[in-house]
Amino acid sequence: MAAIEHLTVGSTDPPLVEGKLRLYSMRFCPYAARVHLVLNAKKIPYDPVYINLINKPEWYTSRIPTGKVPALVTEGTDLYESLIIANYLDEKYPENKLQSDDPLRKAKDSILIESFGKVGSIMYKMYFNDIDTETFDQFLGALDDFEKELSSRGTTFYGGNTVKLVDYMLWPFFERMSMFALPDKPQFKIPESRFPCLTKWMSAMKGDEAVKQHYLRPDQHAHHLNMRKAGTPDYIIIE
Amino acid sequence: MAAIEHLTVGSTDPPLVEGKLRLYSMRFCPYAARVHLVLNAKKIPYDPVYINLINKPEWYTSRIPTGKVPALVTEGTDLYESLIIANYLDEKYPENKLQSDDPLRKAKDSILIESFGKVGSIMYKMYFNDIDTETFDQFLGALDDFEKELSSRGTTFYGGNTVKLVDYMLWPFFERMSMFALPDKPQFKIPESRFPCLTKWMSAMKGDEAVKQHYLRPDQHAHHLNMRKAGTPDYIIIE
CATH number where B51 lies = 3.40.30.10
- Measured CA to CA, the distance from residue B68 to residue B56 in angstroms comes to 9
Nearest-Cα residue of chain A relative to residue B94:
A103
**Model confidence at A93, in pLDDT bands (50, 70, 90)?**
very high
In a domain, B25, yes or no: yes
Q: What pLDDT does residue A183 have?
A: 85
C-beta atoms of A107 and B114 within 8 A: no
Residues A82 and A120 in one domain: no
Residues B108 and B200 in one domain: yes
Residues B133 and B162 in one domain: yes
Picking from B80, B88, B108, the nearest residue to A103 by CB comes out as B88
pLDDT digit string, tens, across residues A209-239: 999 999 999 999 999 999 999 988 899 999 8
Domain boundaries, position B75: 21-97
Give me the phi and psi of B88, to 5 degrees please. -55, -50
C-beta atoms of A84 and B111 within 8 A: yes
- Measured CA to CA, the distance from residue A186 to residue A177 in angstroms comes to 12
Among A7, A21, A26, A29, the active-site one is A29
pLDDT digit string, tens, across residues B65-84: 999 999 999 999 999 999 99
Residues B93 and B175 in one domain: no
Q: What is the CATH number of the domain that holds B130?
A: 1.20.1050.10
Contact A49, A97 (CB under 8 A): no
Distance from CA of A130 to the nearest CA of B (A): 29
Q: What pLDDT does residue B12 have?
A: 98
Residues B127 and B201 in one domain: yes
Q: How many domains does chain A have?
A: 2
C-beta atoms of A91 and B103 within 8 A: yes
Last-in-domain residue among B97, B116, B134: B97
pLDDT digit string, tens, across residues B119-178: 999 999 998 887 899 999 999 999 999 999 999 999 999 999 999 999 999 999 999 999
% pLDDT > 90, chain A: 94
Distance from CA of B214 to the nearest CA of A (A): 25
b/e burial code for range B4-18 (CB count within 10 A of at least 16 → b): eebbbeebebeeeee
pLDDT digit string, tens, across residues A152-171: 999 999 999 999 999 999 99
Q: What pLDDT does residue A127 have?
A: 87
| Total-model pTM | 0.96
In a domain, A3, yes or no: no
Last-in-domain residue among B46, B71, B97: B97
C-beta atoms of B92 and A103 within 8 A: yes
Helix (H, G, I), strand (E, B) or coil at B110: helix
Residues A29, A188, A219, A195, CA torsion sign: negative
Which of left, alpha, beta for A65 (phi over 0: left; psi -120 to 50: alpha)? Answer: alpha
Residues A66 and A159 in one domain: no
